[in-house]
Amino acid sequence: MTSPHLDHALGFTIPSRHARGRLVRLGPVLDQVLAAHAYPPAIERLLASALVLAALLGSTLKQANGQLTLQAQTENGVVSLLVADYKDGALRGYVKFDADRLAEQGADPTLFGLFGKGYLAITFDQAVSGERYQGIVPLEGQSLAQAAEHYFFQSEQIPSIIQIDTRHDAGAGCIAAGLLLQHLPEGEVGRERLHVRHDHPEWEHVQALAQTLKAEELTDDALPLTDILWRLFHEEDEVRVSEAAPLAKGCRCDLGHIRDVIGRFPASERAEMADEKGIIGVDCAFCSRLFPLALDSFAAH
């Protein structure tokens, strides 16, 4: 029986500390994404962390149809490309890597071992307003979580804590979970903006509390996310908790959309795409599905 404490994002704010955060825990959704690929354990953990990070950041989007995309890339690393995105509660992701070079890294490679000198790009797309913002930072630190902390420090100047943990028990599915905690500007005209002061006592207090969170708690599918918040911040005057938002696997590949895109190419270019049997094969990297389109089917449209 599936735990009710999986595949949700929970938002919260601590008004007196000028802090906000998210908790995410993935289970069946993660298994569904990973089932489309035969990734080795190290790559599974990497993608699981990226999907949790995408959910933590993407669930902060307020506009409908907004999208958050994470992309980690390098030209000479074991992993050449990692992509994960979030849109309206739907998650998808995939990894391109060199299996032979990965085997040389051992069972538990570091972030540097996987990427070398890579970079992390985080893109926020607001569908309603049309606003698009992208920040790019070097892949620094021991994990994707630390690289994302560096992104907020460098691109946004917002003190942030990001903790991501994964668990894969023998004979059971994967569980990955994360905490995002951020200190926000006070926002009042003429007042000092708190987010430029990383040593502010309000932030130091919530930071110290958040750092007591254990990996076993985050990935415990029998422990409600609200209980984690209570354990961390029950001594605060007020913690405002939003309704938990469901998360789902959401590859957006669609045969009709693919046909429409291919149909926009000139007939000569479509002919070059087709194989000797007259079939154009379109491969979705996210779900590992192949969409075959007969070349002669376009002539009728």
Dihedral sign, Cα of residue 226, residue 230, residue 233, residue 235: positive
Give dist(CA 182, CA 56) in Å, integer. Answer: 12
So what's the pLDDT on residue 152?
A: 87
Structure tokens at 85: 């995105």
**Using CA atoms, how far apart are residues 219 and 167, in angstroms rounded to an integer?**
7
Residue 287: predicted pLDDT:
75
Cβ burial 265-288 (10 Å sphere, 16+ → b, else e):
eeeeebeeebeeeeebebebbbbe
* Radius of gyration of the chain measured on its C-alpha atoms: 21
At a CB cut-off of 8 Å and minimum separation 6, what does 47 contact?
A: 33, 34, 39, 82, 84, 93, 94, 95
Distance CA 278, CA 201 (A): 67
| Domains observed in the chain | 8-249 (3.55.30.10), 255-297 (no CATH)
pLDDT score of 189: 31
pLDDT of 31: 93
Tell me if 113 sits within 8 A of 78, measured CB to CB: yes
Report how far residue 234's alpha carbon sits from residue 50's, in angstroms, rounded to the nearest whole number.
29
Return averaged pLDDT per consecutive 10 residues of the chain, 301 residues in all: 85 92 96 90 95 94 84 90 93 94 90 92 81 87 92 84 90 90 62 47 88 96 96 93 91 74 83 82 74 76 47
**pLDDT for position 193:** 41
| Predicted local confidence at residue 3, as pLDDT | 79
In this structure, are residues 125 and 116 in contact, taking their beta carbons and an 8 Å threshold?
A: no
Q: How far apart are the first and last CA of the chain?
A: 47
Per-residue DSSP letters for 192-251? PPGGG-TT-HHHHHHHHHHTT--HHHHT-TTS-HHHHHHHHHTTSS--EEPPPEE-EE--
| pLDDT reported for residue 190 | 33
**Backbone φ and ψ of 49, nearest 5°:** -65, -40
In the chain, the amino acid numbered 81 is L
At position 291, the amino acid (one-letter code) is: F
The helix (H) or strand (E) run that includes residue 160 is strand 160-168
Write phi, then psi, for 12 (nearest 5 degrees).
-155, 155
